[in-house]
Structure 1
């Protein structure tokens, strides 16, 4: 990685941190497919995004580049695990393919967001990431808290799959304190990284089983709980997953609701949208479309542009934190 690209990523992380703590009035927007399965597909998507990102001066847009998929039971586990989507599990090929995609997106001067799932694999991709997430199934996992503490990257912890926020908030508190992180170095030896902490962590609300938490009462209650724990970070709201009940069109409704709140609630510091070139999803087959999701259903790019414009306008109308 060149020094210029390294500086760009470092500066993007600082921008995200400033937004999380209210030192910038911009809004973080993490947007992209549920998961990446095709270089060709994500290359076209990010080119389309690159061509319009300059229009949204009030947004800090990050490409959702997810290479690992946590499964509730079974299913395709992501490009790193199974790059050929044939259950051969050629992980070395998957890592190489993921790095190629990350380099391509970075070359387009776009920030990147990903979920850190496997703590070993994080070492391969972390250098390209502007903001990471810890998913709903791992939000109170000790090893993921230790990983988040050791990463010099802003990290969002999602509430758990039942909509409960306590575990994720405890993780924010834990990451503020010294932790010891165990990892494997380049020579394959086990190492220990001492006294690591990460103050650039925040909470992501993504709903839960039969629960949504993107509306004003839920957000107000959550912010009061954060304040009572002396946590000054803002909130990121996931418009998809259980907040959309897995219906991608509901993301439009959710973003409209959040846009209305943005104008009077500067503590909403970010949103997440699952979006791709074509709407919906497809089953895995011998003829996979590179431009449509093979995991969760996504919004199409036309509607994505409308939501970005709506959010950009809403942020321009809101009062600054300070």
Structure 2
């Protein structure tokens, strides 16, 4: 069978894999300079120009399960729908200034052990039920981790490392008996199943979840289980992530840049608020052109920077002034970890205390709508690289260091009290006619 071929070097010759791929100097002068010439040649293995020019640095390409198949295998129950919807409605109202509760995103830096993660979810559920009049709590369930250089990329991509599932994770037991290999196979299809199964378990428990979105494909597998999403400091400036946020069904928080720039987060909100047309994939896994309406429930997350924290009242005042200039809601969320804690997990308590004080101060209380806290069953962190997957302590982070559960409750109690104080102050002011 013959095939029409394009020889970009001219001269009527088709380049084979074994032949030179650069033209002789005599071929690139005058009329022959990069002159495309259509030729016919017999197709045979390894002779295509595409094989010579494309995927030169690609080691392997493997099939990825279509999102729709995973969604059919892991359907959303009626109870889960109620949880996810309530989580979204509450977050949306808070982001837009229509609900005076505090939006709290709290949980492990990353999920690497679903058994420990589910135990944490149960503890959080019990606390959230008692604090729901003051705090709208969503569990941080991050399955993908952006890396500054290299490292474990999260459960979906790097599930080869930890022992992440056991028989306790009903009703997904049969599907989650994964026994992740330690041979570097990066079984992403398996990771997607684990992630979706875990998120549905949380939803069935009545715990709405929050995730960070790192690309435009993985949301097709899990976004219907999520109540709030984040775009991280390394990706807030990315056009692709702004386009993604414009089409997500959840509120989205954009973090300030790692250099401290709040302007890029404000630009991201404005961009995501508009509709976009971009390339993505459908639920059937087919490449497609996606058109979005825009997302009016986006906000800034102040997370500190390489140069220091930015959670003080002066930082927040400066940020809300810039938001107002841009015609956006003057409301911010504060990340108690990362640059604001100077990468010292115990300092999250200091940040939370400062935020609580600002919530109680009439001059600063109107501009803080949420907080983020990195928390786990056990405080601190451990090194996956040095310990290996079989010697990891149960319930302790393998990425950023976290507060333990008891310390987390203290921080949440303080924030809950501050919200109550703010509400009481406003009611008193309203009764006196000063508002």
Q: Under a length normalisation based on structure 1, what TM-score does the superposition of the two structures give?
A: 0.97
CA distance in 1, matches of 2:287, 2:216: 13
Answer yes or no: is 1:83 the counterpart of 2:159. yes
1:262-313 deviations in whole A, cap 9, x for unaligned? 1231220000000001000011113122300000100010100001100000
CA radius of gyration, larger in: 2
2:139 matched residue in structure 1? 63
Select which of 16, 19, 36 maps to 2:94: 19
Which of 317, 321, 330 lines up with 1:220 in the alignment? Answer: 317
Tell me how far 1:195 sits from its aligned partner: 4.0
Matches within 5 A, 1:219-258: 219-258=316-355
How many residues get paired? 322
Choose which of 55, 74, 82 in structure 1 pairs with 2:150.
74
Residue of structure 2 equivalent to 1:111 = 208
Say if 1:187 and 1:54 are closer, same or farther in 2 by CA, change over 3 A.
Answer: closer
RMSD of aligned residue pairs (Cα, Å): 1.5
CA contact (8 A) 2:321 2:330 kept: no
Alignment map for 1:194-213 (pairs within 5 Å): 194-213=291-310
Please give the alpha-carbon distance, in whole angstroms, between the structure 1 residues aligned to 2:394 and 2:289: 41
- Structure 2 counterparts to residues 291-306 of structure 1, below 5 A: 291-306=395-410
Q: Which of residues 415, 423, 428 in structure 2 aligns to 1:311?
A: 415
Deviations 1:17-63 (A, max 9, x none): 11111111100110001100001110111111122222212000010
1:160 aligned to which of 257, 263, 284:
257
* Greater CA drift, 7-16 or 232-241: 7-16
Deviates more, 1:47-56 or 1:265-274: 47-56
The farther-off stretch of 194-203 and 24-33 is 194-203
* 1:290 matches 2:394: yes
Q: Structure 1: any 5+ residue segments left out of the alignment?
A: none
Determine if contact 1:22/1:267 at 8 Å carries over to the other structure: no
Q: C-alpha displacement at 1:84, in angstroms?
A: 2.7
Q: Distance in 2 between matches of 1:221 and 1:3?
A: 43
**Superposition TM-score, scaled by structure 2 size:** 0.72
Q: Is residue 227 of structure 2 the alignment partner of residue 127 of structure 1?
A: no
Pick which of 131-140 and 280-289 moved more. 280-289
Structure 2 residue runs without a partner (length 5+): 1-75, 162-181, 428-434
Matched position secondary structure for 2:264: helix
**CA distance in structure 2 between the partners assigned to 1:118 and 1:241 by the alignment:** 21
Residue deviations 1:71-128, cap 9 Å, x none? 0001100000011314321101100110111011111101100000021111111011
Q: In the superposition, relative to structure 1, how do residues 191 and 6 fare at CA in structure 2: closer, same or farther (>3 Å)? A: same
- Structure ranking higher on relative contact order (CA contacts 8 Å, 6+ apart): 1
* Cα distance between partner residues in 2 of 1:237 and 1:169: 15
Q: CA deviation at 1:207?
A: 0.4
Q: Distance in 2 between matches of 1:274 and 1:245?
A: 13
Structure 2 SS opposite 1:231: coil
Contact 2:79 2:203 in 1 (8 A): no
Map of 2:166 onto structure 1: none
> Matches of residues 268-283 of structure 1 in structure 2 within 5 Å?
268-283=368-383
Is residue 80–residue 95 contact of structure 1 (8 Å, CA) maintained in 2? yes
Residue 399 of structure 2 aligns to a residue in which SS?
A: coil
Q: Can you list the C-alpha shifts for 1:215-247, whole angstroms capped at 9, x where unaligned? A: 100000101110111101521000000110110
